[in-house]
Amino acid sequence: MVRRWDTSVFSAELFAEALRLHCFSEVAVDPATLISTLRRACDETMPRLSGGRNRTNVYWWTEEIAELRTACQRAQATLRRTRDRTLRSLRAGTFRARKKSPEAWQRVAEAAAKVTQQLQRAWLVARASEAEEEVDIGRRRATARGAAAAARAERRRNSRFGRHPTLRRRIREMEGEEQVRFRRRAHQLMDNIRHLEERQHRVPREVWLAEMAHNRARLDAHDAEPDAAEAAQAILEDALRRLQAARRQQRNIRQRAYRQRASAGSQAQRG
């Protein structure tokens, strides 16, 4: 979380006094010490505010402080580059410097190697997790593609040769024109059932159930074997009678309700 201070209570005198106190108390002033000194001065003169992770540091209010911060950062970067050159190449330092603190260089090199190994391990763990997730996603997509392909193949097989093995054999034995007419009629009946399922909430319940039973009976009669055609036709006729009775009952209910509303309206006019 980004740290900043409330500039509404900024006082130049208090800030200068705090800065003077901390600067005089430091013996060796380097860029990092100066930056920490400025932050301590800001902490003593202004309350802290907190911002989001993507907020920039906004605690340099005047041009002088901004210039001083820029100079400190440049000096710190120069010091870092010089130190890196000295540590990474023996030619960059003098013979005295190389002989003076080889233990310190060795400790820095070991610390850098340790940090690098930790970063590599963290990256490998993150990459392994991502790879496992990618493999899982790929496996699910492959399963979905296989299921979709199987469904398409089943629909294609049903559209050509019906839904049952015996029906497929019958369709294969038919002539070309007869096979086309048979399949077209089956598609029409299945479309009627699908459209009726979409109209479920727009039709009275009793009428919808009777229509669904009638459409399924028509499809069963169409797909029935020759020896079972009479039984399927009897079931179809019974379903048709039930559908007509349901429609007649619904029509009587509507007419009765219409007569009741009309009589209530005429009584209201006479009263």
Question: Does residue 179 have a pLDDT over 80?
Answer: no
pTM of the model: 0.38
pLDDT at 92: 47
> DSSP letters of 163-229?
SSHHHHHHHHHS-HHHHHHHHHHHHHHHHHHHHHHHTGGGS-HHHHHHHHHHHHHHHHHHH--GGGH
Q: For residue 117, give every residue at least 6 positions away whose Cβ sits within 8 Å of its Cβ, in sequence order, or none.
A: none
Q: How many Å apart are CA 154 and CA 143, to the nearest integer?
A: 16
Question: Does residue 91 have a pLDDT over 60?
Answer: no
Question: Does residue 59 have a pLDDT over 60?
Answer: no
The pLDDT-based confidence of 1 (bands split at 50, 70, 90) is: very low
Q: How many Å apart are CA 31 and CA 69, to the nearest integer?
A: 9
Question: pLDDT tens, 6-43?
Answer: 767 777 777 777 767 766 655 455 656 766 777 777 77
Q: How many Å apart are CA 55 and CA 202, to the nearest integer?
A: 56
pLDDT at 240: 92
Question: pLDDT tens, 124-145?
Answer: 887 888 888 888 888 888 888 8
